[in-house]
């Protein structure tokens, strides 16, 4: 066995970098559940965000044969590349994922399926970056902090229903799949994690006339959770406009369905400029 092969057989020895939010998954049972949830099919274009030490990468390669990964940490590039040789064909993009054009990736090889154990300190920016390229994405399977997944999948009336859930659910079908305990990682994080599936909605089914307007209405509505719509949206519209959209001005944002936010935003044909 070569030195490289021996190193791969023992696993990576690199320490997790705290400033990059690294927690390396090692639980074989959880890894198998993730691969089963993704369920790669012939012809799929799989792209993994933050492969780390290859815990999900290599099993996906064993199952599918080809994989593109986006990794920011230079120290992980060589061991990933060498370790992948025994499993399949790996393409490594050494960049910050927030600078990667998913649309361009899809243009070069067809719509992509995203997978990733996302760094908790960057999860929301990565999610919204992916949404910007939703037409190029078939689905997304991400591991995130459980609290974030709960907010992503929450419905009206839930204590954790808010801006994140409304924005994601407007553009995707969001399904929380299963929880992951801290012990599944090295080093273990201080919080529970969870795996979530997001499937972008067909553009014609989203129904949002003006995306920046929709985002602003949702942002203001949840700006102060205990305020009524009348008060929270006072800089954008009056009570009559809220009623005209079929909503009660004295309702609070956490009571409003995603489709109602879409209808309200569509009814406000023009918003005042940002202060």
Please write the tens of the pLDDT for every residue from 27-56. 999 999 999 999 999 999 999 999 988 999
Q: Is 23 annotated as a binding residue?
A: yes
pLDDT tens string 47-104: 999 998 899 999 999 999 999 999 998 999 999 999 999 999 999 999 999 999 999 9
The first and second tokens of residue 137, run together, are 């994405």
Q: Is 71 annotated as a binding residue?
A: yes
Higher-pLDDT residue of 203, 168: 168
The region, left, alpha or beta by phi > 0 then psi within -120 to 50, assigned to residue 233 is alpha
The first and second tokens of residue 147, run together, are 């609290």
Q: Is 25 annotated as a binding residue?
A: yes
Q: Is 43 annotated as a binding residue?
A: no
Kindly tell me if the per-residue pLDDT of 232 is higher than 90.
Answer: yes
**Contact of 15 with 80, CB cutoff 8 Å:** no
* List of domains in the chain: 3-204 (3.40.50.150), 211-267 (1.10.8.100)
The first and second tokens of residue 254, run together, are 């956490």
C-alpha 64/C-alpha 44 separation (Å) is 8
User: Strand 89-93 vs strand 66-70: parallel, antiparallel, or unpaired?
Assistant: parallel
Q: CA dihedral in degrees (187, 191, 195, 196; nearest 10)?
A: -140
The alpha helices in 17-159, defined as continuous H runs, are 28-38, 57-64, 77-84, 102-109, 123-132, 146-153
């Amino acid at each position: 066995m070569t030195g490289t092969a021996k190193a791969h057989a023992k696993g990576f020895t690199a320490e997790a970098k705290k400033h990059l939010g690294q927690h390396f998954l090692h639980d074989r049972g959880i890894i198998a559940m993730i691969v089963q949830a993704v369920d790669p099919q012939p012809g799929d274009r799989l792209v993994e965000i933050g492969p780390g030490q290859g815990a999900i990468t290599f099993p996906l390669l064993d199952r599918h044969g080809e994989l593109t990964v986006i990794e920011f940490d230079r120290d992980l590039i060589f061991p990933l590349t060498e370790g992948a040789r025994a499993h399949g064909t790996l393409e490594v993009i050494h960049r910050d994922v927030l600078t990667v054009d998913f649309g361009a990736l899809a243009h070069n090889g067809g719509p992509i399926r995203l997978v990733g154990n996302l760094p908790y300190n960057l999860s929301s920016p990565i999610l919204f970056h992916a949404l910007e390229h939703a037409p190029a994405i078939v689905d997304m399977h991400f591991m995130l902090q459980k609290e974030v997944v709960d907010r992503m999948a929450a419905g009206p009336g839930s204590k954790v229903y808010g801006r994140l859930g409304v924005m994601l659910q407007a553009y995707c079908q969001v399904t929380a799949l299963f929880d992951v305990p801290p012990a599944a990682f090295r080093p273990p994080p201080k919080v529970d994690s969870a795996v979530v599936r997001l499937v972008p909605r067909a553009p014609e089914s989203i129904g949002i006339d003006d995306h920046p307007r929709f985002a602003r209405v949702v942002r203001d509505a949840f700006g102060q959770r205990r305020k009524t719509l009348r008060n929270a949206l006072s800089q954008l519209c009056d009570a009559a406009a809220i009623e005209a959209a079929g909503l009660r001005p004295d309702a609070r944002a956490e009571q409003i369905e995603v489709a109602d936010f879409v209808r309200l935003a569509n009814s406000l044909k023009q918003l005042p400029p940002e202060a």
